Structure 1
């Protein structure tokens, strides 16, 4: 029913300013206007990771629900988890509007939001109110634009959300905060991770749980830097890597009217590069670090390709903008059919089975 309703509503939503359409979507979710998963997922879709059981590998990427307004609605739709944020210590308005642009011919978006969010205190309060509710919610933390010490902002985020998050993602890869990506350089990333791990040890010593820490990397990382970055993650025994964020690349876009807009590009054009990078990270990490595959997932085929390239979990956002909520049950059905067809008894059996082939491809799509 909701698939047909979305097909009817999509022209109206896409006639709106993208940010207004997004706010309308959030308000609908807040009042319960959304599809609900009809039954429990097939057991073969379950993922056991970090001491958590994900009922399926599909999650909503950070950026959709920045302030934890609709986390339970997202879970009720049948997602295996959701990641809220990016959240910074202090509230900030982000960049001037307009700051989101549709590239409909490419099934892509460009955003330059700039970490607009309500800040730690407000988002923590929302999550604390659902403390007894079920479902896996990760929190994506970032740094304020004007922070004198951005590394401290990430540590503050870990300390703030450790008691309410299932896991934490360290977002050092957004292109919309000036110089933020400098924190991805091996030396600075190593220093940042050491500070985070020390803070986590202190929290555990004080009686709090030890939450998994994931670092989110950009798809624009220079090939020469990738081995050193992965080695830092391995050396610090981080819990996961998310590959990747939006890209600054504008190659091979058809919708040239909006292609010049500043910001990060997401959606279908990101699929190839982010999947090749995912496979290369999988190989460099030797399967020792779980990976979250992000970028251009808008069909069962793209979801399966991410898993075969090395992803244990998946995240999507822009694909939903264009394909609607019926995409999720379709991907679940086709993933079960894929497992049956390939003789895999669980998703873990399929992770990385084509990583070598993907890693050998050029980062730039042909």
Structure 2
């Protein structure tokens, strides 16, 4: 019996961030019970090797849900093939003033303007050190809100150096609409030098730590085809290992007229699905064969996940769809993706 619709109805009576905290408190408790092993067993095995890493299945948790890596073991109980924590910045920061998270249930969507609220990289690393699960772990890096773009690379270098010893892969987030001017780093004249510096820093870290850690870049859906082409070329030329497509959108056309649709921030969920899929398809056409694409954006069903794979994604991540559909979504997607290999 699926009790999640009832639980969601209760949680949606609460302010979103309060519901978020309560949900994690319940999940942390459940993770200490036999439920954890049972829950994992409900997800169909669908192993895949990407970027030199072995994933038990192709369904990941997108960054943003567990910003500080405080609930990794509880999330692992749900059967994710990989978990991405963050976005984390070098220094702690409170994020934007509340309210900053809004539900649009008629559209299966959320709007957030969280602003990279997190406890800083050192706190996140302490949480990572305390985990017991072996689920592959990505760490999503951002810059502090008061770091100007001309010095943004220093924030990413700090994050890369500190996360490198413990992350299975590292994501460079330059596509959140909630940190002023961050998306400008996607422009070719800034994107190329940024990637070049990151590649050099990664090479040093790989040598110093005796391990190779892939780097992926998370991009926005609000890019024209020419910009996507430029990004694809630079990702390949500068030796990046993968790309996550996409982050939230600033486009409101799909939710015009709905309550709270005019709130500032990034729109996620079902309305971003077409744009993210289009970017994935463009990237697949432009990138070298074998270059890893992780598809995210509006995945709230098995069909939506299959759409991303058919467009060219090698794996998928979920967030907003998970909020609306619950853990059963992971099981449904795992069955659908595994069936494509049968």
User: What TM-score range do you get, normalising by the shorter chain?
Assistant: over 0.9
- Match of 1:22? 20
Partners of 1:310 and 1:17 in 2: CA distance: 37
**Structure 1: tracts of 5 or more residues without a match:** 346-366
- Match of 1:136? 136
1:117 is aligned to 2:118:
yes
Partners of 1:53 and 1:29 in 2: CA distance: 26
Question: Aligned with 1:291: secondary structure?
Answer: strand
Question: Aligned with 1:62: secondary structure?
Answer: coil
User: 229, 239, 242: which one pairs with 1:240?
Assistant: 242
- Match of 2:9? 11
Deviation digits for residues 172-219 of structure 1, max 9, x if unmatched? Answer: 000000000011111211111111111112122324312000000000
**Structure 2: tracts of 5 or more residues without a match:** none
1:282 is aligned to 2:273:
no
- Match of 1:291? 293
Partners of 1:67 and 1:236 in 2: CA distance: 29
Normalising to structure 1: TM-score of the pair? 0.88
Normalising to structure 2: TM-score of the pair? 0.94
- Match of 2:216? 214
- Match of 2:77? 76
Aligned pair count reads: 336
- Match of 1:48? 49
Asked if the contact 2:142/2:174 (under 8 Å) is kept, the reply is: yes
More deviation, 250-259/261-270: 250-259
User: 147, 152, 155: which one pairs with 1:153?
Assistant: 155
Question: Aligned with 2:253: secondary structure?
Answer: coil
Partners of 1:37 and 1:147 in 2: CA distance: 42
Partners of 1:41 and 1:253 in 2: CA distance: 33
More deviation, 143-152/110-119: 143-152
Deviation digits for residues 150-192 of structure 1, max 9, x if unmatched? Answer: 1110111100000110000000000000000011111211111
RMSD over equivalenced CA pairs, Å: 1.6
More deviation, 301-310/285-294: 285-294
1:169 is aligned to 2:174:
no
Asked if the contact 1:106/1:254 (under 8 Å) is kept, the reply is: no
Partners of 2:177 and 2:245 in 1: CA distance: 14
